[in-house]
Structure 1
């Protein structure tokens, strides 16, 4: 019997349903056949890389460290000394009383300080990063007067006597209220308090049509009282304070002295010791500081660069000595475990 394999068989193959294949379309990208750089980390390359990092990092660390050491700082802790002797045993009662809290301090200039000289207040053991504290504010209210009633996030400082507080929240309520004035040779030193806050905060976070209202009007006063005739965008002490700190020890800019100070000069400081840090064992310090191209006085950046650079240099030396005294040929199969122990023992 003969079978025919003619046109009928061919037409059947054409009409047969084609099966869908899940095979992806071929391309050099999907098959990972594109040109690629596969560097081989030879001992020379590794040693050279460590040396390069050391050559770059060590000079940067030295320059950063010297720049930080050129910054002149005067730090004066006054929270204990500004309490009268008869109130040392109960500092909280004194700070909450109506007694005069004026305190006079004398600061000695250790080195020549070029203007501008930045005046900071430093607080220790103050946790501005506490979750409830950070959330107790209303950004909508701070930005636009139309949202003055939006105080739902500001508890417990949301309303007073049935009216909304502007600005509301624990952050603004606890605004730092110690004040400082400076004099040199019985002449008042001008303190510039303009431009101490971030420009972006003044222009975008605090409205020009938002004025303080019903602020510090509760039974318990937290801190400073705001000027009701100035919009929030011009009250820079508040703007600086409301940029909360990430750590419990922090500094905030109070103002700038636009006069050079010479070595050996004595600055008389008259301050009002109003802020209550005694109830939580906090500390208050007054800081006068110059700046350099790297910023304020901070040795960490220079030490970090020197540490990394020195570590890389040490590793380069160690690897270089190993490569010099115990070299091994690259890709030598005799170092494979099954070649070193062919019997499996």
Structure 2
């Protein structure tokens, strides 16, 4: 049996009944006092309105700060738009055309060329499903043969592309009734216009780079598996970008980039103008823009954060007033 030392609690317990009762009452009162202190410290948790006000204020403050940062970043970006589909020189589909643009200030490279299309829906169920994934991605290995109907054969795909002809990647001739490689509506509608950019002051023509613009997954897995049967170079990154459908009816696709700077002045841009948008009642534009740490210029990103942050802070003020209104003397 364990010895009771001098510091044992049993040595301090009173031996008569009155003392024992007093000791018990003292212990109970002490326990109740501790509970009251804990309750007082956690009393603020009972107000969901106050917690909501704090949550909305912090969230709104974050959105406002982010919106201001995005606006500052947007101001560092120079974006030049040319709605060349509406230019008289480019009104004839299938005929090369040129137009001039003005660069208002020096733009540090790289300068990206974007295609912007409006009123064009790639987000339909048909557009998503009507293709053969095994033709595009070498890592699928025929697991998904897909359904390309009604754009299955070379004739169905290439009949609207006279500027290509029935040629494979090796320079040979493709059979019109053979399965197109790739097939499907994405391949049928692919954008294949070529652009050149020239400085009118120096007559310098800029080389366009087509690497480093596509998703790394597509670069690694979208390969030319059968060059003798293919009409499209799947390792050309602008084509890889097109093969990924966009979720909105207005979207941008990267066409390439100029690695060097652009000085202020007039520039001449020429395009093969082979993409016919009239059958879709769409609009196409060429955009030259530099980028920064948050990407390209995006006004919607700024507006959505500023509006969202303002609404959240107003909501926090409303909840705070509601919280204290209940505590004011009537």
- For residues 187 and 163 of structure 1, do their structure 2 counterparts lie closer, same or farther at Cα, with a shift above 3 Å needed? same
Residue in structure 1 matched with residue 180 of structure 2 by the alignment = 165
Residue in structure 2 matched with residue 254 of structure 1 by the alignment = 255
- For residues 126 and 318 of structure 1, do their structure 2 counterparts lie closer, same or farther at Cα, with a shift above 3 Å needed? closer
Q: What are the within-5 Å matches in structure 2 for residues 103-142 of structure 1?
A: 103-142=97-136
Q: Distance in 2 between matches of 1:208 and 1:42?
A: 60
Q: What are the within-5 Å matches in structure 2 for residues 76-95 of structure 1?
A: 76-83=82-89, 94-95=92-93
Q: CA deviation at 1:181?
A: 0.2
1:92-126 deviations in whole A, cap 9, x for unaligned?
xx426xxxx12111111123311111101112222
Residue in structure 2 matched with residue 32 of structure 1 by the alignment = none
Alignment of 1:194 onto 2:200 = no
For the aligned residue pairs, the C-alpha RMSD in angstroms reads: 3.0
Q: TM-score normalised to the size of structure 1?
A: 0.68
Residue number among 220, 227, 231 corresponding to 1:211 in the alignment: 227
Q: Distance in 2 between matches of 1:95 and 1:302?
A: 37
- For residues 153 and 212 of structure 1, do their structure 2 counterparts lie closer, same or farther at Cα, with a shift above 3 Å needed? farther
- For residues 63 and 237 of structure 1, do their structure 2 counterparts lie closer, same or farther at Cα, with a shift above 3 Å needed? closer
Q: Distance in 1 between matches of 2:114 and 2:78?
A: 13
1:19-75 deviations in whole A, cap 9, x for unaligned?
xxxxxxxxxxxxxxxxxx994226554443333333333222211222123221000
Deviates more, 1:315-324 or 1:295-304: 315-324
Residue in structure 2 matched with residue 310 of structure 1 by the alignment = 310
Alignment of 1:287 onto 2:287 = yes
Q: Distance in 1 between matches of 2:241 and 2:207?
A: 20
Contact kept, 8 Å, 2:133 with 2:146, in 1: the verdict is no
Q: TM-score normalised to the size of structure 2?
A: 0.71
Q: Distance in 2 between matches of 1:167 and 1:152?
A: 11
Instruction: List alignment gaps of at least 5 residues for structure 2.
Output: 1-41, 155-175
- For residues 53 and 135 of structure 1, do their structure 2 counterparts lie closer, same or farther at Cα, with a shift above 3 Å needed? closer
Q: CA deviation at 1:155?
A: 1.3
Instruction: Write 1 or 2 for the structure with the bigger share of helix.
Output: 2
Q: Distance in 2 between matches of 1:126 and 1:304?
A: 24
